[in-house]
Structure 1
Amino acid sequence: MEEALGIEASMRGSKVFLQGEEKAVNKAGRFIKELYSINSNGYAINPEDMKFVLKALDDAPLDDQISADSSVDNNSSASLKEYFLSNIPVSSKKKFIVPRSETQKEYIDAIKKYDMVIGIGPAGTGKTYLAMAMAINALLTKQVSRIILARPAVEAGERLGFLP
C-alpha cells in the first residue's frame, strides 16, 4: 500500500497513522476501511485481493472518493464487499473463487440466472475458469448430477483457432 500510493503508514496498537499527500492518504484510508469491512465479513484476504482493491479504488468515480473529514461511501463499499462475498465455493476445503471485475460478476450472475450463457471475449479473461467453477459448485450443491464436457469434432489437420 505504501509503495502503490506513495505514503508512509505506521501502527500503534490498533490505530493506523498515514502520512503523505492528502489525496493519497484519503485513498489509503479508504483502502484500509474496505479491507477491514471485507475481512470482518469472514473473507480471508490475500495479497492478490489487496491489489484488486487498490485497482478498484483507482477505477472508482471521483464522487466515490473520500475527503479528509468524510467517511466511506456506503454504495461503493457495498459493491466491493459484494465482489468478495459473492464467492463460488468449489470444494469442501473452504476454497472460493471470486470475480475480479464487474464483467466477471455479471457473467457469474448470468450463469446463475439462465440455463445457457454464451461468453465472448479475449483469451485469459476467465470465461472457462468461471464456467467450470460454477459447474463444480452446481455439482457439489446437487443442482446437477453430472458435468458433461464436449469438444468440437475437428478433422485431421484442421485448426479451429478457438473453443466454441
Structure 2
Amino acid sequence: MTTGTLTEAILEFPDNRLLIDLCGEFDRNLTDIETRTGVQILRRGNQLAIHGPEEAQAAAREVLGALYQRLEQGRSVGRADIDREFRLAPEPEEEASGGQLEMFEGGKVEIKTRKKLIEPRTDAQKAYVRSLYQHEMCFGIGPAGTGKTYLAVAVGVNMLITGAVDKIILCRPAVEAGERLGFLPGTQEEKVDPYMQPLYDALNDFLPGKQLAKMREEKTVEIAPLAFMRGRTLSNAFVVLDEAQNATTMQMKMFLTRLGEGSRMVITGDRTQVDLPRGVPSGLQDAERLLSAIDKIGFNYFTGKDVVRHPLVAAIIEAYEQDVSG
C-alpha cells in the first residue's frame, strides 16, 4: 500500500513468544526504534507493519531483523542492543587470521567472559577490539564513556580464560583529579584502592566474585598503582594502563619498557583530562608523538559519538569540545 512517499512494509515473525520479547515491555523497544527512524510500527498478531519513508523503513527492518535473530540465539534484547544496531554500520565480511580472531568471522565482534558476552556498540569500538587482538601494544585514546578501559579489561579476561595469557595486570597513576585529598588512613592497599575502583568495577562485570577473589589472592589478577611496575618484566600477561594521560613521560617510558615475552599491553587515556601539576608534560601525549609511526603498535581514537553512557554525557563532551575549539 502506498500513500505519497510513505509505504507500508510487513515483517512476519514465526515465534510469537520471541516477538513479545522483541517488542519489549509496553512495546518500549518498538518505541525506541520509532524514535530513532521516524517510522510508525504497528503489531498485528505475529506481524509488524512499518509505516514511513522507504529509507527509514529499511533501517527499521534491518534493526528489527537483527534483534529477532539475536533472540533466536537465546540472547536478550535491551535498549543497549538497539543502540548498538543503529550505531554499527554494515561491514563486508573480513577474513579471520588466527585462533583469537575467529570471533570476527562474518563481521561480528564478541568477547566472551565468565559472566557475560560483550559486544562493541560503535564502529570505533569494533576497530579497537580488533586492534587489541592484533597488536601486542595498543593505545585507546578518547573521551570518557567510550569504553576504552571496559573493553580492554573484557579482552584481557577473555585471553586469560582461553589460556592466551597467564595473568592480568591492571594499573593506573595514583593522581588526584584536581583535588587535594591529603593523607589517607589504612594500609598501602587501602590507600590506593580508591584510585583503582574503576578497574575493580570492570572486573566484577566479567568475573564471578569468588573466582575474582581467588585470582587476586593467587596473583593471577593484579591491580596496582603505576609506580609499582618499576623494575618488573611482565611476561605472558595482559597489562592495562588506565588514565595514561596522568603518567609523566618517564613513567610512561618505564611502563612501556616492561613488555615481556607473550604479553600484551593496552594504554588508555583522555588527553583532555590531564591532572598532572601545571608544567608537567603528559606521558600519553609524548608516547603518541614518538610511537605513532611504529606499525606494530595500534593507535585507536574515539570521539563524543562513541560515548555509550547516558546520552547527556555525549552532549556535555561535545559542548566542552566546541568551547575549546571556539
TM-score, structure 1 normalization: 0.66
Task: Please state how far the C-alpha of 1:39 moved relative to its aligned partner.
Answer: 3.7
List aligned pairs for 1:12-161, cutoff 5 A: 12-56=44-88, 76=91, 85-91=108-114, 93=115, 95-150=116-171, 151-153=225-227, 159-160=275-276
Judge conservation of contact 2:87–2:121 (CA < 8 Å) in 1. no
The SS at the match of 2:130 is helix
Please report how far the alpha carbon of residue 34 of structure 1 lies from its aligned counterpart in structure 2 after TM superposition: 2.7
2:110/2:120 contact within 8 Å kept: yes
Alpha-carbon deviation of 1:41?
A: 4.4
Greater relative contact order structure (CA < 8 Å, 6+ sep) = 2
Per-residue deviation, 1:142: 2.2
- Report the aligned-residue RMSD: 3.2
Per-residue deviation, 1:139:
1.5
Does the Cα contact within 8 Å between 1:34 and 1:77 map onto a contact in 2? no
Q: Partner residue of 2:37? A: 5
- Cα separation, 2, equivalents of 1:54 and 1:120: 23
AA partner of residue 226 (structure 2) = P
The Cα shift of 1:140 comes to: 1.6
* Higher share of residues assigned strand: 2
Question: Displacement, 1:76?
Answer: 4.7
Distance of aligned partners of 1:6 and 1:119 in 2 relative to their CA distance in 1, 3 Å threshold = closer
**Letter of the 1:37 counterpart:** Q
Aligned residue for 2:157, secondary structure, equals helix
Runs of 4 or more, structure 1, over 4 Å off, are 75-79, 161-164
Q: What are the ranges of 5 or more consecutive residues in structure 2 without an aligned counterpart?
A: 1-32, 95-104, 172-224, 228-246, 249-274, 285-326
CA spacing shift, 1:82–1:49, aligned 2, 3 Å: farther
Give the superposition deviation at 1:132. 1.0
For residues 110 and 145 of structure 1, the distance between their equivalents in structure 2, rounded to whole angstroms, comes to 20
Count of residues paired in the alignment: 140
For 1:103 and 1:2, the matched residues in 2 are separated by 25
Normalising by structure 2, what TM-score?
A: 0.37
Q: Using a 3 Å threshold, how does the CA distance of structure 1 residues 110 and 148 change in structure 2: closer, same or farther?
A: same
CA distance in 2, matches of 1:22, 1:6: 11
Cα distance change of structure 1 residues 148 and 2 upon mapping to structure 2, 3 Å threshold = closer
Deviation at 1:112, TM superposition (A): 1.1
- d(CA) in 2 for partners of 1:107 and 1:32? 26
**Distance in 2 between the 1:102 and 1:163 partners?**
27
**What is the CA distance between 1:134 and its match in structure 2?**
1.0
| Identity score, percent | 33
